[in-house]
Amino acid sequence: MKLRHFDRTFGLLFTVMLVIAAGNTALQSVLPALGRSLHAPDSAVAAVFSVSALLWVIAAPFWANRSDRHGRRAMVLVGIAGFTVSLGICGLCLAMGINGLLGPVATFIAFVAGRVIYGTFGSAAPPAVQAIVAGRTSRTERTQALTLLASAFGLGTILGPAIAPLLVMGRLWPDGPMIGLAGPAFAASAIGIVIWIAAARGLSKDEGNAHGAAISYPSIGGQGTGANVTAATSEPSQPVRYFDPRIRAWIIAGLIIGHAQAMTGQAIGFLIIDRMQLAPVEAIHPTGLVLMIGAGSSLLAQWGLIPLLDLKPRALILTGSALGAVGCIATGTATTLYGIAMGYALLALGMGLARPGFTAGASLGVGPEAQGSVAGKVTSVNGAAFVLGPSLGVGLYELWRPLPYLTAAGWLGCLLVYAWMATRRVPK
């Protein structure tokens, strides 16, 4: 079926991907302020998202395979339901904590339960959405359609932090309960209910036999690289090991780049609160502003500079590592909001160059017979970075505020030297 013949369905599926990513990153962007409001340790706040990301990485391939046997529509509904219930639980427990109805420990435990639901069930929808689109498009249309669909997921990781400050609410009525920083979770859950109803009514049960690929965990700074599109459009391929000599340098680069980005992105909210000496609620708007500037820099790299300059994988890794290292140092040592914003913009620009370089380099390292396997490796590397990266970054932050940024800068500096040597004889 031609893409133009199911515009309404595609629009619905695009919205599903957008909402799942935006809702998660909106909550993630306000969580530092929430943690400080509830007097939870910074490292515990980061650990919540690490657990959720780990469960997503484990569950995503399971749901991708299950959709082949139990239907794509059912898996889309499971994913949206997991997203909706998770955000609803998070909003409810956070609101109860804000109003003193739950103690900090009980609030934190309930919040963890909500995030477990998201990580376990939220990952069911993206592979099924891919499979529906792939099954209803011709081979010539499929890559374009899936690339557009993937952009919804990346766009969601940008919109979430941008709109989160607008969803912080006051009291529902005079003398009523304070919603406050729980507002983004409640808003995302309410939108999830609407999307679930629309999907239940709008998706047919005839979805074809196409297969969707697992997608990396949606996180701040974790815009997709397109590897999931390659995995979804590739035929079963020759297995390739993670450290196969053909892709080893690119995999190592991807691990360093992903962890550097996850560490610095997770700590930025805490950095703004402490450097600006703001109350948690007052930090929401500056944090959203910095994250929007960073997202804009990343998009400038991926949608503007790379096509305009026709940069090749090796140049992308080297340039991105250098810019990212300088940006990390500038962010970690800045003492004003302007300095933090400009440093983070430079950091994000470097990561926006380096991440596609890692993906393209790994793809060019093998022939057509191994593209599907390599795409799966790239996706898993992207996901793994957001399992350990946030907790590692905030743990270092608790030791010394500039430490996660200086550590990331050191890693990127080492990567610059390693990539210069290791990629001289691989495709450029």
pLDDT in tens, 320-338: 999 999 999 999 999 999 9
Give me the pLDDT at residue 222, please.
Answer: 61
Q: Is it the case that residue 421 has pLDDT exceeding 70?
A: yes
Give me the pLDDT at residue 5, please.
Answer: 45
Strand partners, 178: 171
How large a percentage of the chain has pLDDT more than 90?
43
Element (H, E) at 266: helix 248-275
List, for residues 112-127, the tens digit of each pLDDT value: 999 999 999 998 998 8
List, for residues 282-329, the tens digit of each pLDDT value: 999 999 889 888 888 888 888 788 888 888 899 999 999 999 999 999
78-87, 135-144, 268-277: the lowest-pLDDT one: 135-144
Give me the pLDDT at residue 359, please.
Answer: 87
Planar angle of CA 141, 83, 4, nearest 5 degrees: 20
Give me the pLDDT at residue 411, please.
Answer: 97
Give me the pLDDT at residue 256, please.
Answer: 96
Q: Return d(Cα 174, Cα 165) in angstroms, integer.
A: 22
Give me the pLDDT at residue 250, please.
Answer: 93
Q: Return d(Cα 159, Cα 21) in angstroms, integer.
A: 9
Q: Is it the case that residue 223 has pLDDT exceeding 50?
A: yes
DSSP 8-state class, residue 303: I
Give pTM, 2 decimals: 0.88
Give me the pLDDT at residue 72, please.
Answer: 85
Give me the pLDDT at residue 3, please.
Answer: 45
List of residues 6+ apart from 102 with CB closer than 8 A: 93, 96, 110
Give me the pLDDT at residue 140, please.
Answer: 66
Q: Is it the case that residue 427 has pLDDT exceeding 70?
A: no
Q: What are phi and psi of 152, to 5 degrees?
A: -65, -40
Q: Return d(Cα 111, Cα 114) in angstroms, integer.
A: 5
